[in-house]
């Protein structure tokens, strides 16, 4: 059964469509509707079967790549942009990104900047990208100084989510995506957290109905923050910044490991969420009962809660470079209780060191 979430902004609105076994049918219609325009498809090689019917279309330019944080670089941005320009592009052209979060980040950045912006459709193919990075319009590339330090806010024309695609994912990739679903519950919806406690096994076993419902509930929470604060300018509890729960420490770990396979994004966020929950408890905001519930749920799902390098001097130096910070004070999202988050400003790095070790 199809579910639609509407994202309405001042200058643009679009639909997030969630439906099992729908992506090839919808792609076919999109390409037929654009038969007089150039259509550029950036797609992860792992899911190239999705576009096998479109290889011989004269107006379709297929760019196959291996997904991963390494593609979010100036070199890949330059190479793919040049490929698109060489093939042919104008302001009626369409760019489609098909893949996980890194494909979405790179293709979104290209769509936002090439010709100062062209139409863009996103088809996320991992659980992580379906519930998180495909929603909200953020894109970006990495530098040696940190993750996503260069990017824009650029809303797509449409997002197509097909949970049936997730059958190709490994158990590790599914757990990684589940971490972001859990994050949405922890920051905003206690009822959703307890629903996840009841149904997480079904979700990780790819039960179609439960998975579709989990994706829908998760996106609804994220969409609420995005509509209130599309460019992350607020500092209240309605701020889009709440979606960064677990990401301050998580991104620092990813940067520490130079985005290699030691940790997936979701595993890093899982560790980050527990560290930030522990910090919330240590400064007197989160109860011990809620901290233990979070810890036990992460462990029950097979997600990590610690990393031996999260207390190193290199880690803390990376932490200070987070784009939300000023000077030697850290700005980050903490919890008051399960389902209730807040933005903690100007927390000195010394306090963090004392309370997370």
Q: How does pLDDT run across 128-148, given as a tens digit for each residue?
A: 999 998 999 999 998 888 778
> 313, 309, 272, 259: which is closest to 145 by C-alpha?
259
Domains of the chain with CATH codes: 3-168 (3.40.50.1970), 171-356 (1.20.1090.10)
What sign has the CA pseudo-torsion 191, 194, 200, 201? negative
Kindly report the average pLDDT of the chain as a whole number.
Answer: 93
Q: How far apart are the first and last CA of the chain?
A: 47
Quote the DSSP letter at residue 239. Answer: S
Provide the token pair at 346.
Answer: 């100007």
Share of the chain above pLDDT 70, in %: 98
Under the banding of pLDDT at 50, 70 and 90, the label for residue 67 is very high
Pairing state between β 60-65 and 340-348: unpaired
Per-residue 3-state assignment (H helix, E strand, C coil) for 169-189: CCHHHHHHHHHHHHHHHHHHC
113 in Cβ contact with 197 (< 8 Å): no
148 in Cβ contact with 243 (< 8 Å): no
CA distances for 10 relative to 7, 153, 221, angstroms? 10, 14, 20
User: Does 190 score more than 80 pLDDT?
Assistant: yes
Under the banding of pLDDT at 50, 70 and 90, the label for residue 258 is confident
Under the banding of pLDDT at 50, 70 and 90, the label for residue 232 is confident
Under the banding of pLDDT at 50, 70 and 90, the label for residue 320 is confident
Coil vs helix vs strand at 30 = helix
135 in Cβ contact with 222 (< 8 Å): yes
Provide the token pair at 337.
Answer: 């209780």
Element (H, E) at 344: strand 340-348
- Mean of the pLDDT values across residues 159-168? 96
Element (H, E) at 159: strand 158-161
Within 13 Å and on the Cβ side, how many CA atoms surround 279? 29
Under the banding of pLDDT at 50, 70 and 90, the label for residue 180 is very high
What is Dmax (Cα atoms) for the chain? 62
Torsion angle of C-alpha atoms 285, 291, 294, 297, degrees rounded to 10: -170
Q: In Å, how far from its chain's centre is CA 98?
A: 14
How confident is the model at residue 357, as a pLDDT?
A: 65
How confident is the model at residue 317, as a pLDDT?
A: 87
Residues 272 and 281: their CA atoms lie apart, in Å, by 14
Provide the token pair at 116.
Answer: 């100062």
Per-residue 3-state assignment (H helix, E strand, C coil) for 275-288: HHHHHHHHCCCCCH
User: Does 326 score more than 70 pLDDT?
Assistant: no
> 311, 310, 304, 348: which is closest to 326 by C-alpha?
348
């Amino acid at each position: 059964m199809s579910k639609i979430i509407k994202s309405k902004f001042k200058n643009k609105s679009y639909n997030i469509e969630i439906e099992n076994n729908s992506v090839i049918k919808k792609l076919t219609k999109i390409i037929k509707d654009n038969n007089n325009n150039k259509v550029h498809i950036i797609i992860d090689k792992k899911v190239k079967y999705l576009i096998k019917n479109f290889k011989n279309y004269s107006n379709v330019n297929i760019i196959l790549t291996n997904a991963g944080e390494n593609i979010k670089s100036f070199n890949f941005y330059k190479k793919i942009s040049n490929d698109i320009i060489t093939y042919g592009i104008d302001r009626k052209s369409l760019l489609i990104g098909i893949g996980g979060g890194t494909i979405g980040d790179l293709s979104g950045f290209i769509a936002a900047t090439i010709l100062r912006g062209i139409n863009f459709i996103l088809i996320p193919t991992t659980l992580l990208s379906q519930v998180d990075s495909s929603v909200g319009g953020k894109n970006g590339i990495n530098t040696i100084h940190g993750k996503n330090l260069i990017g824009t806010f650029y809303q797509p024309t449409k997002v197509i989510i097909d949970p049936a695609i997730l059958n190709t994912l490994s158990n590790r990739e599914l757990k990684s995506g589940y971490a972001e679903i859990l994050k949405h519950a922890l920051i905003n919806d206690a009822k959703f957290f307890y629903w996840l406690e009841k149904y997480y096994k079904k979700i990780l076993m790819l039960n179609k109905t439960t998975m579709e419902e989990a994706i829908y509930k998760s996106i609804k929470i994220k969409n609420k923050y995005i509509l209130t604060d599309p460019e992350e300018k607020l500092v209240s509890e309605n701020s889009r910044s709440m979606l960064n729960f677990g990401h301050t420490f998580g991104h620092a770990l990813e940067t520490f490991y130079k985005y290699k396979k030691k940790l997936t994004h979701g595993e890093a966020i899982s560790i980050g969420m527990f560290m930030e929950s522990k910090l919330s408890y240590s400064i007197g905001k989160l109860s011990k009962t809620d901290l233990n519930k979070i810890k036990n749920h992460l462990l029950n799902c097979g997600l990590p809660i610690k990393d031996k390098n999260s207390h190193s001097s290199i880690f803390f130096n990376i932490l200070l470079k987070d784009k939300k910070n000023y000077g030697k004070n850290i700005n980050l999202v903490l919890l008051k209780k399960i389902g209730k988050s807040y933005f903690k400003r100007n927390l000195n790095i010394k306090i963090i060191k004392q309370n997370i070790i």
